[in-house]
Structure formats: structure tokens, C-alpha cells
Amino acid sequence: MTDKDLIKLALEAREKAYVPYSNFKVGAALLAKDGTVFTGCNVESASYSPTTCGERTALLKAVSEGYREFDTIAVVGSLEKISFPCGVCRQFLREFGLEIRVIVATSADNYQVRLLKDLLPDSFGPEDLV
């Protein structure tokens, strides 16, 4: 699975976004360490706060299927300007590893790569619950 292939899966997932309120579609494709990919999109709610981001949808699908080790997540929000994961999604991903690669893209030809630890420095995580 190349970075470009993962971005293409995120773009496909983005088309499934349920966004009647913001009209802002987000798609994510999460690559587990064994090569399995879980996709997700944002799903909004009329009462707003239950809205779930695309990244968290993908992670929830993966963890609920028994996966806990991840290599990379590709995220596509706006197709005009690269958008980065929100703070809640950074924290949610962080639970499963600071070394997760985060690809942010508008297309398979326009993307940037970060490590989660650089997007969420000095973070609080499972190791801190001592």
C-alpha cells in the first residue's frame, strides 16, 4: 500500500461523508501494521456535538475489529487547501502510538506527511496514567 493508494482510498471514503450542516467532507484511510486498511468519513448530527470526524470513524472501525497497531493514516478534507486533523482526532490517534504517520492531502499528487508526535507534542497518553 503506497501513500498515494492510501490517499485514493481516503478520497473514496470522503464521498460517503454525511455532512448536511457543514457541507465539509472528510475522508480517512487508516493502514494497520498488518496491511489492512480501514476507511472512514465524517458523520454529522442535527444536534451537532455527536458529529464524528472521518479520522475517528476510521479508528473506531479498526479498533472495534480488533486492530490496535497502525502505520499510517491518510486524511482528505478540503480539495482546495490541505487541512490537518483536529485536536480531538490527534488525541484519539495518539492513544495508539505517537509514531503513526499522518498524511494530509488534497489529492494523490498534493500531500504532506507528518508524524503524530509532531502534531501533538508533549501529549498525555496511556503511559501517563501511573
Active site residues: 55
Q: Measured from the CB atom, is 50 or 128 closer to ligand THU?
A: 50
Task: Report how far Cα 4 is from the mean position of its chain's Cα atoms.
Answer: 15
Q: Residue 111: helix, strand or coil by DSSP?
A: strand
Question: Contact residues for ligand THU (CB under 6 A)?
Answer: 19, 22, 24, 26, 42, 44, 51, 53-55, 85-86, 89
Q: Measured from the CB atom, is 26 or 59 closer to ligand THU?
A: 26
Q: Residue 18: helix, strand or coil by DSSP?
A: strand
Closest CA to 101 of 83, 88, 119, 124: 119
Closest CA to 42 of 62, 82, 63, 15: 15
Nearest approach in angstroms of CB 129 to ligand THU is 25
Closest CA to 56 of 47, 64, 66, 45: 64
Cα of first residue to Cα of last residue in the chain, in angstroms, is: 37
Q: Measured from the CB atom, is 51 or 91 closer to ligand THU?
A: 51
